[in-house]
Structure 1
Amino acid sequence: MKKVLIAIDYHPVSEQVAHAGYELANKLDAEICLIHVLADVAYYGTQFPTFMGYDGYTNLGPDLDMALEMRNVAKEFLQKAAEHLNDPKVTTHLAEGETADVLLEYAGEWGADMIVMGTHSHSKLEKLLMGTVAQKVLEKTTIPVYMVPVKK
């Protein structure tokens, strides 16, 4: 195991995940990359024409300033997370898209030997309707996944 990819998000339990993954990677003398996946940022800034009597969205197309701001916030988050680990060898990667798919895609590109991620508590309804990122990764992965149990 020479490369460990640690998936983090904005949830406070990401600190636990980052530390657990960092400790494991150090024991393996492996390279470490923190990854954060943004949902399609263009969605957050999309402005729609009036529909169903609602004119809150007045222009067509995405608000590029909003999308850029979302990326900048995510980049700052990753930078601070890497600094928190206090190891200049830790790298970061920001990706966009469907979290499980993008995470697995980058793991392949980077040559990760292991993915570290946390398990979040979700409502039963949310799990039933959407599943979880962890579940989707486990179903599709071809490399080991180290799950860090994080509970409230």
Structure 2
Amino acid sequence: MLPDVKRILYASDIESGSRPAFRAAISMAGHYDAQVTFLNVIEPLNSTARNLVKTMMSDEMLSEMHDESVNHLKQKLVERIEQFCDQELDESEKMKEGQVVPRVEEGSADKVILEVADEINADLIVMGTRTHSSVGQFFLGSTANRVMTHTKRPVLIIPLK
């Protein structure tokens, strides 16, 4: 049994097939009456791609496009959370208003997950992992593996298809 769980960090790539991990996070939140921070991490453009884009638009336009994209992604997260809760949770599982908090950050996925877990003082990290090869299955997925090896917090890993 986990100690008192009040803050859960759910890290998701929001790709199709990630519902089982979100369901696990929501189930844990319901069981412990905990808050879930739904985190999506945007990987930054590599320097080659950034330089290519800079040749086509000004820094101001690039910054505006970036901010607009982040806001759009956050709204998409809010819609996905609401849709999931409406479609898949019965009355006894419904989340309270503000119990699921969407968050979008930019950076290296494993580092951002660890930073946000520290910032919110997460009692549990929930994330899914996809493996695309037998070597990938051995290493459990690189992001999940790096998070598990660099945190002292409990991590619940859900295998995804």
TM-score normalised according to structure 2 size: 0.74
CA change 1:63–1:37 in 2 (3 A) is same
Greater helix share, structure number: 2
1:117-145 superposed Cα distances (whole Å, 9 cap, x missing partner): 001123467789xx611011011011000
Which amino acid letter does the alignment assign opposite residue 148 of structure 2?
Answer: L
TM-score normalised by length of structure 1:
0.78
Aligned residue number for residue 76 of structure 1: 75
Residue in structure 2 matched with residue 54 of structure 1 by the alignment: none
Shift of 1:93: 1.4
Question: Aligned residue for 2:89?
Answer: none
The alignment of Structure 1 onto Structure 2 pairs a total of residues equal to 143
The answer (yes or no) to whether the contact 2:131–2:137 under 8 Å persists in 1 is: no
Residue segments in structure 1 that go unaligned for 5+ positions in a row: 50-56
Higher relative contact order (CA 8 A, sep 6+): 2
Rounded Cα–Cα distance in structure 2 between residues aligned with 1:102 and 1:137: 10
> RMSD in angstroms over aligned alpha carbons?
3.0
Q: Would you say 1:18 and 2:17 are equivalent positions?
A: no
Note the residue ranges of structure 2 that are not aligned, 5 or more in a row. Answer: 87-94
Does the 8 Å CA contact 1:42/1:64 hold for their aligned counterparts? no
**Any idea what SS the aligned residue of 1:82 has?**
helix
- Measured in 2, the distance between the counterparts of 1:17 and 1:3 equals 16
CA distance in 1 between counterparts of 2:9 and 2:33 reads: 13
Instruction: Indicate which of 1, 5, 9 corresponds to 2:9.
Output: 5
Matched, 1:113 2:123: yes
* Preserved contact between residue 44 and residue 67 of structure 1 (Cα < 8 Å): no
SS in 2 for 1:48: helix
CA deviation after TM superposition for structure 1 residue 98, in Å = 0.4
Q: 1:44 to 1:81 in 2, by over 3 A?
A: farther
